[in-house]
């Protein structure tokens, strides 16, 4: 891959440019937009499905964004994007928001995904070092947590351009700006500081976890928090992690097994179907079997379960009066040294 053109750059950070495959017979182009490289096999598909975040303006007042939200209406692509950003930005950064209600009020608590990662890292024990990757990083806070924990290079990857955009804005401005859903189409703009360690080498790319552009054994740590039930081929994820890991590296998986046909066909779910089978339809024993060499036909060689937590609390705030509460199964695994 070569950087074939730089169209906009600030302090060595390429904000707009084009990467091109260096193989003469290929020469596919991958754009860098707003600092985020889009490194997916189907660039055309991802761009055409992401026109809204790609072309969205960020200079409109919260009032005008609200007017547009009312006009676009519920279930519009605009409202879906705002709802998703509200969900994940609240969970990732709400602890830093001075306007969040205090814990004593009984209001839902942000930070559940970070708690899943922390539980997984504690189960993983000593880390070997080397770059870390957060698969399905969404709005990015766990990548910052990984940087603090490892002191090494951290990359967050996600297919959702709106989320990567928010993560990159936090990275480059040290501020979080998001619309927090109150009720229906009503959102309140929240703006507050997120102390970003300038020395931390964190970056965010648009990439598909099932088609990652990395050589094998590139990372010392792989995190996949609340991801496996969101991808088209859930059982492939342990193999993806095993390929990415250097010998002795660690992987953290966390999932509430909230299976949905919109993410993966039923046949691809890990449990959640076939109640007559020996596992009774349970997801947990199948997931642990996938991480135990020889325990299942799809078990991954070279990656071994080292610990699990049955249920870490993860709250996702939908609006002022509704919160989804998950108990997340967290597992840590280690690549053979």
Ligand X SMILES: C[S@@+](CC[C@H](N)C(=O)[O-])C[C@H]1O[C@@H](n2cnc3c(N)ncnc32)[C@H](O)[C@@H]1O
**Minimum distance from residue 275 beta carbon to ligand X (Å):** 25
CA distance 115 to 125: 16
The Cα angle at residue 179 between residues 175 and 184, in degrees rounded to 5: 170
**Minimum distance from residue 112 beta carbon to ligand X (Å):** 8
Nearer to ligand X, 166 or 300 (CB): 166
Nearer to ligand X, 119 or 209 (CB): 209
Residues in contact with ligand X by CB under 6 A are 88, 91, 113, 136-138, 157-160, 163, 208-210, 225-227, 230-231
Q: Which residue is nearest to ligand X (CB)?
A: 136
* β pairing state of 29-33 and 2-10: unpaired
**Minimum distance from residue 136 beta carbon to ligand X (Å):** 3
Nearer to ligand X, 209 or 286 (CB): 209
**Minimum distance from residue 83 beta carbon to ligand X (Å):** 13
Nearer to ligand X, 160 or 283 (CB): 160
Nearer to ligand X, 161 or 245 (CB): 161
Nearer to ligand X, 5 or 49 (CB): 49
Within 8 A by CB and 6+ apart from 45, the residues are none
Nearer to ligand X, 54 or 295 (CB): 54
**Minimum distance from residue 38 beta carbon to ligand X (Å):** 12
**Minimum distance from residue 88 beta carbon to ligand X (Å):** 5
Angle of helix 62-72 versus helix 77-93 axis, rounded to 10: 130
**Minimum distance from residue 140 beta carbon to ligand X (Å):** 9
CA distance 203 to 295: 36
The Cα angle at residue 270 between residues 240 and 252, in degrees rounded to 5: 45
**Minimum distance from residue 209 beta carbon to ligand X (Å):** 4
Judge whether 152 and 131 are in contact, CB under 8 Å: yes
How long, in residues, is the chain? 337
CA distance 319 to 321: 6
Within 8 A by CB and 6+ apart from 161, the residues are 36, 38, 46, 50, 53, 54, 206
Nearer to ligand X, 91 or 308 (CB): 91
CA-only gyration radius of the chain, Å: 20
Q: What are phi and psi of 278, to 5 degrees?
A: -55, -35
HSE, side-chain direction, 13 A CA sphere, residue 31: 12
């Amino acid at each position: 891959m070569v950087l074939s053109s730089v169209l906009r750059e600030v302090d060595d950070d390429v904000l707009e440019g084009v990467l091109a495959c260096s193989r003469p017979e290929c020469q596919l182009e991958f754009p860098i937009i707003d600092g985020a490289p889009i490194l997916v096999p189907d660039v055309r598909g991802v761009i055409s499905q992401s026109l809204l975040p790609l072309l969205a303006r960020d200079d409109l007042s919260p009032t005008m964004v609200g007017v547009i939200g009312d006009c676009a209406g519920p279930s519009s692509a605009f409202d879906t994007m705002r709802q998703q950003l509200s969900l994940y930005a609240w969970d990732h950064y709400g602890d830093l928001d001075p306007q969040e209600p205090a814990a004593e009020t009984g209001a839902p608590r942000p930070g559940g995904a970070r708690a899943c990662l922390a539980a997984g890292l504690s189960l993983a024990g000593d880390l070997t070092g080397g770059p870390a990757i957060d698969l399905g990083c969404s709005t990015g806070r766990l990548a910052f947590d990984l940087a603090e924990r490892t002191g090494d290079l951290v990359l967050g990857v996600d297919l959702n351009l709106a989320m990567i955009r928010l993560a990159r804005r936090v990275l480059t401005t040290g501020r979080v700006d998001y619309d927090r859903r109150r009720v229906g189409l009503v959102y309140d703009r929240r703006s507050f500081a997120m102390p970003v360690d300038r020395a931390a080498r964190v970056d965010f790319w648009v990439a598909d976890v099932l088609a990652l552009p990395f050589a094998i054994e590139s990372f010392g740590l792989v995190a996949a928090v609340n991801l496996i039930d969101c991808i088209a081929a859930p059982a492939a994820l342990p193999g993806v992690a095993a390929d990415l890991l250097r010998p002795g590296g660690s992987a953290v998986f966390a999932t509430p097994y909230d299976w949905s046909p919109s993410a993966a066909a039923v046949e691809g779910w890990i449990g959640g179907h076939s109640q007559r089978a020996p596992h009774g339809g349970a997801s947990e024993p199948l997931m642990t079997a996938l991480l135990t060499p020889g325990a299942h036909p799809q078990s991954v060689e070279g990656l071994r379960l080292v610990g699990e937590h049955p249920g870490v609390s993860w709250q996702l705030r939908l609006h002022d009066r509704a919160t989804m509460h998950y108990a997340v199964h967290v597992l840590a695994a280690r690549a053979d040294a």
